[in-house]
Amino acid sequence: MESSQITRRKVEAGLPRRRRREFLFQLAGMLATTVGIVFLGVFFADLFVKSSTAFVQTFVKLDVEFTENVIAPGGEWDLTYADFDGLVRSALRSEFPGVSGRSERRELNRLVSVGAGYQMRDMIEADPKLLGARESLWVPASSIVDMYIKGNIDASLEESLRPLSDKQLSWIQKLQDSGRLETRFNSALFSNGDSREPELAGIKGALMGSFYMLIVTVLLAFPIGVAAAIYLEEFAPRNRWSDLIEVNINNLAAVPSIVFGLLGLAVFINWMAIPRSAPLVGGLVLSLLTLPVIIIASRAAIKAVPPSIREAALGLGASKMQVVFHHVMPLALPGMLTGTIIGMSRALGESAPLLMIGMVAFIVDVPGGFSDPATALPVQIYLWADSPERAFAERTSAAIVVLLGFLLLMNLTAVIIRKRMEKKW
Amino acid sequence: MTMAEMTEANGSEEQLPGNAGLGVTKMPGPKQTANGGSAVAVAGQHIELGQTIGDFRCENPYIVAENVNVHYGDNHAIKNVTLEISKQEVIALIGPSGCGKSTFLRCLNRMNDTIESARITGKITLGGQDIYGKDLDPVALRARVGMVFQKPNPFPKSIYDNVAYGPRIHGLATDRAELDDIVHTSLERAGLLKEVKDRLEEPGTGLSGGQQQRLCIARTIAVNPEVILMDEPCSALDPIATARIEDLMDELSQDYAIVIVTHSMQQAARVSKRVAYFHLGLLVEVDETDRIFTNPQHKLTEDYITGRIG
Ligand SMILES: Nc1ncnc2c1ncn2[C@@H]1O[C@H](COP(=O)(O)OP(=O)(O)OP(=O)(O)O)[C@@H](O)[C@H]1O
Ligand SMILES: [Mg+2]
């Protein structure tokens, strides 16, 4: 038999086994991908279902009289003596004239959030002419009412087992019947800082805290990271020291983030005396955390620039720095930016190191600068997830959705930068 | 045992007095040299280290390489090569793959500086100036000694910017009009202007391979160098593009010294005045192109050009 025929026969004999292996491998791959996608789908579906109710909030319509002797006992209105809660109470009383007795009234007052009083104060502050006027206002209902309206409280339970009494339920029913109860978009979620009252708690404080921190992080980590990458890749001599540095940078990228928090606590707060809980410290710690990521990504981007481009420039008499800044940087920049954004999104999602530097505090005010006490979005999630109130659970999910939204946005930006700036060669 | 190992074993580190004369003939069998027997057997043939047959010296030399040795770590890639190149000549470096042609070429504009493991000894002068001297900046040298690479490597920038890059970094043009002028003349001389004059702002990477290589040549001559080094400039091109570039070399040789590495005997025969044959880091034979191809002195040269090695 001819040798080529023998070869062919051998090749053909092996084919079925190869095909079978290929098929099994593809099947395994498909299975793995499917499992991954299913998990992701379940996670997202659960999150969206749980968070969807947090974006609306129950409001109650009250006819409020800005009575002068309640809010301006001395003639002029005065924040110290003004009793805005009194306005709310009397408005409720006039809505339900039949309610009498201290305990019953207290039950009635519990239908409306303490935020109603703040709302009135803000109105008077903005427009003192309202004094003495009568207004129809939508004020936030308290979180138990909100939970009941959202179906989280089972009215069929025995009265002592649920947070709403039979009387309260009947009042709610009455408000609903007269069109004085409505669910509306929960703008407080995006405009308020944290609060003990779930219906008043918002993520703005945490968002701003995260924002200031990321500003610090990007301002520090990007230039330092890129400069270090350029130096290590283009200028540093290859020797034992550069190997050591390389190994250490790679190790740093794998260090648990809480360790960076401890470092920040020791160095920035105890030694450098930067105020704790401030976005400045958070940003410094997060820069340490993202630096290795940025350096590694930037070095990879620099390495990916074809050596022929470098040689061409060198051959024309460009100096090393000219080669780097005229040719290597423009080609490596998309990769560097992608690395930076990925580092930033890691920083945005970090909570552990922030716990160590006091950013886990309960902070009501929205931070207005880099040294104001602040918290961050993931820490806020952690805080809310820890709260016993049912109403905080849905807000936790909402905050997670917002955080994921930002992460998605950042990663999308990275992809777009990559696509738009990448040059063909 | 490889050639390199053998030479190492023979202690070739010592600098031998270069190119003493016609030390080697096509005689087979071992041959002792005056230098203490550092003869090396290659394919049944013996070359004495540092001995080159033919006119490795020339009249009015412009580039003079004396006893050049290049090591890449332990690899002795260029062994005691001495070669003179005059202005207004095209010299072709030929030899089997890995014999050190590119390495030698890259010594002439110090591109080997960028390779960390490379170590160069010996002396190379350009117009009498030691190019490895302390007072000489490789940046300035590379403006005088241009290089065209094997693979066309235009910058991912516009055609105009490709050509204008060299003049820009060296400050050769005082204003935009002068720069335009340099770009146009360079493209013209590289024979590319007609094809690209309406698309100077388009990326240089969008040209065909042959056009890209001519763009690289235009980019090199825009700096107005004294010497042009070409490392297999036509290996990625079709015969038509090759012919155009050979014509171009012919024309450029009026003004520049051109050192070209090529694997094509025909190309060497067509474009060069002299040919240098390298073998395993040794410069075996240098001679007028006609003589090398019709009457090579060394057996290795003959084997190579007749296609028995390489
Ligand atoms: N960057 C480098 N690092 C280490 N060794 C190298 C390097 N470049 C070349 N060499 C070695 O030097 C020797 C000569 O290589 P060189 O590239 O000069 O050969 P060449 O004659 O140009 O070959 P070709 O015709 O294949 O291009 C080879 O042994 C090669 O392995
Ligand atoms: Mg080569």
CA distances, B309 to each of B42, B53, B95, B101 (Å): 12, 19, 9, 16
Q: Distance between CA A189 and CA A181 in Å, rounded?
A: 19
- Give the E-state strand segments of B128-266 in sequence order: 129-130, 145-148, 227-231, 257-261
Q: CB count, 10 Å around CB of A2?
A: 7
Helix axes A390-421, A377-385, angle to 10 degrees: 160
pLDDT of residue B49: 52
A150 vs B8: which has the higher pLDDT:
A150
Cα–Cα distance between B152 and B2 in angstroms, integer? Answer: 33
Q: What is the pLDDT of residues B13-28, one digit of tens each?
A: 334 444 433 334 444 4
Pocket test for ligand 1, best of B94, B103, B232, B278 (most atoms within 8 A of CB): B103
Planar angle of CA B95, B98, B103, nearest 5 degrees:
90
Average pLDDT (A406-425) is 82
Check residues A3 and A19 and name the one with the higher pLDDT: A19
pLDDT tens across B27-82, in order?
443 333 333 334 444 444 555 555 777 788 888 889 999 999 999 999 999 999 99
3-state SS assignment for residue A146: helix
Q: Which amino acid is at A309?
A: I
Which token pair is B258? Answer: 């051109």
pLDDT of residue B15: 40
A346-390 residue pLDDT tens: 999 999 999 988 888 888 888 888 888 889 999 999 999 998 888
What's the whole-model pTM score? 0.81
Q: How confident is the model at residue B84 (pLDDT cuts 50, 70, 90)?
A: very high
More confident call, B12 vs B85: B85
Phi/psi at B122 (5° precision): 100, -170
Q: Which of B92, B146, B54 is nearest to B267 (CA)?
A: B92
Chain B residues in contact with A313 by the CB 8 A cut-off are 155, 165
Residue A318 CA to residue A312 CA, distance in Å, equals 9
Q: How far apart are CA A193 and CA A213, in angstroms?
A: 17
Summarize the confidence of residues A255-261 as an average pLDDT: 92
Options 3.40.50.300, 2.40.160.20, 3.30.1490.20, 2.30.30.180; CATH for B52-154+189-305 is 3.40.50.300
Instruction: Report the SS3 class of residue B147.
Output: strand
Residue nearest to atom 31 of ligand 1 (CA): B98
Cβ neighbours of A238 in B, within 8 Å: 116
- Residues within 8 A of A (CB atoms), B 271-300 only: none
- Give me the amino acid identity at B234: C
By Cβ distance, the residue of A238, A308, A318 closest to B153 is A308
Element (H, E) at A352: helix A352-356
Residue keyed to tokens 């590319």: B192
Tens digits of residue pLDDT in A177-197? 999 999 999 988 899 888 888
In order of start, what are the domains of chain A with their CATH numbers?
54-186 (no CATH), 204-421 (1.10.3720.10)
- Note the pLDDT of residue A315: 93
- Provide the residue type at B198 as one letter: D
The pLDDT, as a whole number, for residue B18 is 42
Residues A384, B281: Cα–Cα separation, whole Å: 74
Domain spans in chain B, listed from the N-terminal domain onward: 1-51, 52-154+189-305
Contact B169 A425 (CB under 8 A): no
B310 — pLDDT class (breaks 50, 70, 90): low
- Enclosing H/E stretch for A124: helix A115-126
